[in-house]
């Protein structure tokens, strides 16, 4: 069950939705800027 989709296709979809303001990526809050850059970002639909 499910669809087989390549990683590049998923990245293309994320880019498309971000360009159309349907999806936003924000960093996880950390006191250290370096830790913020290491951790993955949260994706929020808007």
Q: Could you tell me the maximum CA-CA distance found in the chain, to the nearest angstrom?
A: 41
pLDDT of residue 23: 76
What is the average pLDDT score of the chain?
A: 82
CA 21 to chain centroid:
12
Domain ranges for the chain: 7-45
Q: Which tens digits make up the pLDDT trace of 22-36? A: 777 788 888 888 887
First vs last C-alpha separation in the chain: 29
């Amino acid at each position: 069950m499910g669809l087989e989709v390549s990683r590049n296709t998923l990245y293309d979809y994320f880019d498309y939705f971000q360009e159309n303001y349907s999806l936003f990526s924000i960093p996880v809050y950390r006191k250290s800027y370096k830790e913020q850059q290491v951790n993955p970002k949260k994706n929020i639909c808007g």
